[in-house]
C-alpha cells in the first residue's frame, strides 16, 4: 500500500467539485488577495483540457476578453478555488481541444450536449 496515494485520495474525495471536461463552459470562482482584503473573482470560459491526476490535476480555461484570448490554468486542489459552476456542456470528440485557439467566428462555436431523459 502506498501511503501517499491513499492520503491523496482522501483529499481529492473531500473536494466537492462538479464533473466537467473539455468543451464545457464553466464559471470558476477563485479568491484573490489584495493586501489585507480578499475578494472572489469569476472567470468564465471554455475548458480546453484536464491534465494530471489526484492532487496535481489541473484544468485550462480559455475566454475571450475583447479580441484577445486569455487562458488560465487552475489546480484542482488549490485553496484559492472557491466554486465551479457549469454553464453549458459541450459535445467535443477530443480530450484536449487546442485547435479551438485558432478558431474565430462561427467555427469557434461548440455544439451543446443533448440531454436524454427517460
What is the CATH number for 16? 2.30.30.790
81-102: per-residue pLDDT in tens?
999 999 999 999 999 999 999 9
Mean pLDDT for the stretch of residues 61-72: 92
Q: Is residue 106 part of a domain?
A: no
Contact 57, 21 (CB under 8 A): no
Q: How many domains does the chain have?
A: 1
1-56: per-residue pLDDT in tens?
688 778 777 766 667 789 999 999 999 999 999 999 999 999 999 999 999 987 88
Q: Is residue 110 part of a domain?
A: no
Q: Is residue 87 part of a domain?
A: yes
For residue 63, give Cα distances in angstroms to 6, 8, 16, 73, 95. 35, 31, 24, 12, 18
Pairing of the two strands 68-75 and 58-65: antiparallel
Residue 2: the pLDDT is 82
Q: Is residue 113 part of a domain?
A: no
Q: Is residue 8 part of a domain?
A: yes
Mean pLDDT for the stretch of residues 56-77: 92
Q: Is residue 114 part of a domain?
A: no
| Domain region containing 22 | 3-99
Q: Is residue 117 part of a domain?
A: no
Contact 111, 50 (CB under 8 A): no
Amino acid at each position: 500500500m502506498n501511503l501517499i496515494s491513499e492520503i491523496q485520495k482522501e483529499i481529492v474525495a473531500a473536494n466537492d467539485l462538479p464533473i466537467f471536461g473539455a468543451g464545457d463552459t464553466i464559471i470558476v470562482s477563485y479568491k484573490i488577495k489584495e493586501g489585507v482584503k480578499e475578494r472572489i473573482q469569476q472567470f468564465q470560459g471554455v475548458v480546453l483540457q484536464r491534465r494530471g491526476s489526484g492532487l496535481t490535476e489541473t484544468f485550462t480555461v480559455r475566454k475571450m476578453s475583447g479580441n484577445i484570448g486569455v487562458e488560465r490554468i487552475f489546480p484542482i486542489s488549490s485553496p484559492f478555488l472557491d466554486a465551479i459552476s457549469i454553464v453549458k456542456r459541450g459535445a467535443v470528440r477530443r480530450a484536449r481541444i487546442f485547435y479551438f485557439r485558432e478558431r474565430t467566428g462561427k467555427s469557434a462555436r461548440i455544439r451543446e450536449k443533448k440531454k436524454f431523459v427517460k
